[in-house]
Amino acid sequence: MVEGESWWVFALLSAVFAALTTIFAKIGVEAINSNLATAIRTVVILLVAWGIVLAQGQLPGLFEISRKTLLFLIMSGLATGLSWLCYFKALQLGPAALVAPLDRLGLVLVLVFSVLFLGEPLTLKTVLGVGLMLAATLVLIR
């Protein structure tokens, strides 16, 4: 498989790990503050990510990042952090089977934002897919 064609493998793995994240997090936030749980999780992610960068010898690339790239990575990090804080609090307060579908409404927003901000094409397939995901979420939460 050519690297450019392997994106879907990583996307599927991401979905599997996201599902495991929900299950592990639901159990993990039972007895502690959700913000503390998020902080612990973030340290683990930090160590794993930097460990991979160092193991693959990619550290010199840190000094070649443009300001624009750095700005958007920082903004992405802030959005991720806020998302995780809200997600862990929601998991602490509600059932995982309802929190996760609501969280996945982010998929609908990604499709809308990708059209508005990235200029990606809006196709009939995209509109139908978004409609089905929205309908599925509504069915799951009612």
Q: Do 23 and 77 reside in the same domain of the chain?
A: yes
pLDDT at 3: 67
The dihedral formed by the CA atoms of 78, 79, 80 and 82, expressed in degrees to the nearest 10:
90
pLDDT at 137: 87
**Cα atoms in the 13 Å half-sphere on the side-chain side of 24:** 10
Q: 4-8, 55-59, 128-132: which range is least confident on average?
A: 4-8
Q: Do 11 and 69 reside in the same domain of the chain?
A: yes
Number of domains in the chain: 2
Which residue range forms the structural domain that includes residue 89?
Answer: 3-93
Element (H, E) at 47: helix 34-55
Q: Do 88 and 123 reside in the same domain of the chain?
A: no
- Kindly tell me if the per-residue pLDDT of 142 is higher than 90: no
Give the global pTM.
0.81
Q: Do 80 and 126 reside in the same domain of the chain?
A: no
pLDDT at 20: 92
Mean pLDDT of the chain: 92
Does residue 20 form part of some domain?
Answer: yes
Q: How far is CA 67 from CA 64, 97, 109, 117, in A?
A: 10, 40, 26, 20
Q: Which residues contact 83 (CB under 8 A, 6 or more apart)?
A: 106
